[in-house]
Amino acid sequence: MTTTAKILVTGGTGKTGRRVAQRLREVGVPVRVASRSAAVPFDWADRSTWTSALRGVEAAYLAYAPDLAAPGAPETIDAFTRQAARAGVRRLVLLSGRGEEEARACERIVQDAGPAWTVLRASWFCQNFSEDYLLDPVRGGVVVLPTGDVPEPFVDADDIADVAVAALTGDGHHGRVYELTGPRALTFGQAIGEIAAATGREIRFMQVPLQAYTGELARQGVPSEVVELLGYLFGTVLDGRNAVPADGVRQALGRDPRDFAAYARATAATGAWTATEAS
């Protein structure tokens, strides 16, 4: 593939997509950022937007929202990859979830679609603590979650983006399933402890029952599909099945993944976790 090829980045304003798009631009690869607000609008739920988004594209990064384990995801991924193949897309890189058995159907669809493929099975993102729903609790000094002593090898979104770009633009990644994790596993309480150490603040971690957690989210007006997804992740995926770190980053890039402590120090230095009044 030459550097003049257009690459479609779905989820182009999200945690991994915007990093992928930025890296591609930095190496001179023309990028089409796919989002509902983009110059060429794209919406997974609106198939009428797919044709324009795929026009002239030779490779695509697939970051499906809300999650590959969500109801209807396989049907959408199947329809999109079929259309992508007909449009001349020659390479697909799918962001998947590590330990999400329901996402395997989507992986198989991409693998059978025709274009060259790479699957990125990622563990829980470090950036969920700084760019998602856990940001405000960290700022407030109290993080309440329905998880206890089960460790998770949190992966940095920058590592995911680096692997995605390598698979989108380089050789040797076709037919590979990369399990992307950090170099060590931490419990959520330990992760909060490392964030506290990096910020020099006291940040408490509290464990609550899953039903109480999802019930409180619903009472706060969190959309039902988000509540269901978080219930699935905390109640099913975070059961220890992903506790052992994998070497997918090293397989793809020839280097070690970023450690959570390094992520915490770098993020703290940006001021992202500046304290606010706890609610």
Domain spans of the chain, in order of start = 6-125+156-182+244-258
Better-scored residue on pLDDT, 5 or 265: 265
pLDDT of residue 5: 55
Distance CA 83, CA 133 (A): 33
Neighbour tally for 67: CB within 10 Å: 19
Report the sign of the C-alpha dihedral through residues 137, 66, 97, 249, in that order: negative
Query: To which CATH superfamily is domain 6-125+156-182+244-258 assigned?
Result: NAD(P)-binding Rossmann-like Domain (3.40.50.720)
State pLDDT tens for residues 106-161.
999 999 999 999 999 999 999 999 998 899 999 999 999 998 789 999 999 999 99
Q: What is the pLDDT of residue 4?
A: 42
- Asked whether the predicted pLDDT for residue 63 surpasses 70, the reply is yes
pLDDT beyond 50 at 255: yes
As a dihedral over the C-alpha atoms of residue 229, residue 231, residue 232, residue 238, rounded to 10 degrees, the angle is 120
Q: What is the pLDDT of residue 178?
A: 98
- Span 221-241, pLDDT tens digits: 988 888 998 899 899 999 999
Q: What is the pLDDT of residue 185?
A: 98
